[in-house]
Chains A and B, each alone.
Chain A
Amino acid sequence: MSGNAKDQILDFVRARYPQAEIDETQDIFALGFVNSLFAMELVMFIEKTFEVTIPNDELKIDNFRSATSMAELVDRLSPARV
């Protein structure tokens, strides 16, 4: 899994909620941060930053619960690196 991707995602979430203390494994849904607006921003951020397209069947809540799970999603969607 890309640690860089995880850090970038974490930076994005923290920038949106600077008053909160969030680590890479915390469930941001459980923390009550996610509404449909932020979910849309998250998807746009991931697609833009990592140059991937998230298909409908990957738009599941578990893929967006934490920076770790989002980084795993990015890894799955990114072209294989040699």
Chain B
Amino acid sequence: MTTLAETAPDVLRVTDRKSARAFVDTHIVPYADAYDRRGRVPEELLERMTAAGLWAPFLPRDTGGGGMDLVTLGEVHEEVGRGCSSVRSLLTVHTMVSWAVQRWGSPAQREQWVPALGRGDVLAAFCLSEPGAGSDASGIASNVVEKNGGWVLNGVKKWITNGQRADLFLVFARTATSIGAFLVPRDSPGVEVTPIEDMLGTRASMIAEISFRDVALGPDALLGPSGFTAGMVLTGTLDLGRYSVATGSVGIVQAALEACAAYASRRTVGGSLLKDLPLIQAKLSDMVTDARAARLLVAEAGRLKDAGEASTIMATWVAKYFASTAAARHASEAVQIHGANGCGHDYPVARLYRDAKVMEIIEGSNEIQRITIASQAEREII
């Protein structure tokens, strides 16, 4: 099959924030509301993202990746999140799985999957949540049993971002002794994908429920260590996902700010432009301040990741908590500034408002984050 990269080699490559912004402004911003209404991201954009090298540019160069540092990756994901949270969500889960295979995979697993994940030839989804277990990973009921030297997987995963489209699932399931991570190709017999439509937010992220019925897996399906350290695969992968969601939340605040600045500069009330009214100025100044503060928290978490510092995990919790609550607050204010116009389809702020709420729930609800942050503070300070 001829790819877009072959037929249109001049398609912009994304290597940093500037090129990401140009890509997003050209290929995503004009169409994001249409994706939202249709409930999916079109294949054409997925191909453009492949051609742009957007899927996993952080993978090492010797695997075909771009070797991008995580601070820059965060900036790229922020820009994509500014354009469309659904598209950024696809990047988030693909990033999580790609990182996990690169970090925890055996040489054979890396050889099989990493180059294809890096190019975007294989798209991945992260399967943790279930009908009865969300942020509480210890509550998952999906299970695997060892059989004939391999594994047999049973269970149901729900709210799986890009589940409708992904080619490879990273599935967390109970083993005899702990929770393990398993690589499950979509075309494995016994895998059934059911689209979930009409979500509140990130409506185009192609969310699905996925059933696994007696899915036979080879011995090489287990990713990473078994036993107590298996939890680290989950912890490390969620940490990177949380980082991406934090960056995307900054993108939502920035998008709200840009939409409101444009609207307030045109719209008049009582003979005055909205932008000249003190109450509107207060809202805009809070957006500017929080966008900058959240961006700095995210950058610090990214810097610690690049340095391999253990403190990045808590820095990422803090960044995600701050950025997602800021996104929800400012997206709400953005609708307020737009008035009735903000409640319709003519402006992007209604989409931002719905998407922002999701940021407070995914990759660890904000309640879980506050418990974790408080626990860390107790250890360090009290």
Contact = CB atoms under 8 A, between A and B. Distances in A.
Do A and B share a complex? yes
Interface of A: 16-19, 29, 34-37, 39-45, 47-48, 56-57, 59-61
A39 B308 contact: no
A19 B380 CA distance: 10
B235 A36 contact: yes
Contacts of A60: 225, 227, 229
Given A36-B232, A40-B232, A56-B224, A47 B313 contact: no
Please name the 6 residue pairs, one residue from A and one from B, whose CB atoms are nearest each other, closest first: A36-B231, A59-B229, A41-B310, A48-B308, A59-B225, A44-B310
A40 B313 contact: yes
Main secondary structure of the interface of A (DSSP, over half): helix
A27 B106 CA distance: 29
B106 A56 contact: yes
Nearest to B378: A19
Interface size on B, as a range, is 20 to 34
Interface of B: 104, 106, 224-225, 227-229, 231-232, 234-236, 239, 307-313, 372, 379-380
Given A16-B379, A59-B229, A40 B236 contact: yes
A29 B228 CA distance: 10
A48 B310 CA distance: 8
B235 A56 contact: no
Contact of A39 (B229, B239, B309): B229
A37 B231 CA distance: 8
Contacts of B225: 56-57, 59-60
Given A17-B379, A37-B313, A40-B236, A61 B308 contact: no
Contacts of B309: 44, 48
A57 B310 CA distance: 21
Contacts of B311: 41
7 contacts: A18-B380, A39-B228, A40-B236, A47-B308, A59-B224, A59-B225, A60-B225
B308 A44 contact: yes
Contacts of A39: 228-229, 231-232, 235
A44 B234 CA distance: 14
Contacts of B232: 36, 39-40, 43, 59
A40 B227 contact: no
B313 A41 contact: yes
Contacts of B379: 16-19
A50 B336 CA distance: 53
B354 to A, nearest CB: 31
Contact of B235 (A18, A37, A45, A61): A37
Contact of A61 (B104, B228, B307, B372): B228
Contacts of B229: 39, 43, 59-61
Which of A18, A43, A44 has the most C-beta atoms of chain B within 10 angstroms of its own C-beta? A44
A18 B236 CA distance: 24
Contact of A45 (B106, B228, B231, B310): B310
Given A37-B313, A40-B239, A43-B232, A48 B227 contact: no
A34 B229 CA distance: 11
Of B232, B307, B310, the most chain A CB neighbours within 10 A belong to: B310
A39 B224 CA distance: 14
Contacts of B380: 18
B104 A56 contact: yes
A54 to B, nearest CB: 9
A17 B236 CA distance: 21
B60 to A, nearest CB: 13
Given A45-B310, A56-B224, 8 more contacts: A18-B380, A37-B235, A37-B372, A39-B229, A39-B235, A40-B310, A42-B310, A59-B227
A57 B224 CA distance: 9
Contacts of B227: 59-61
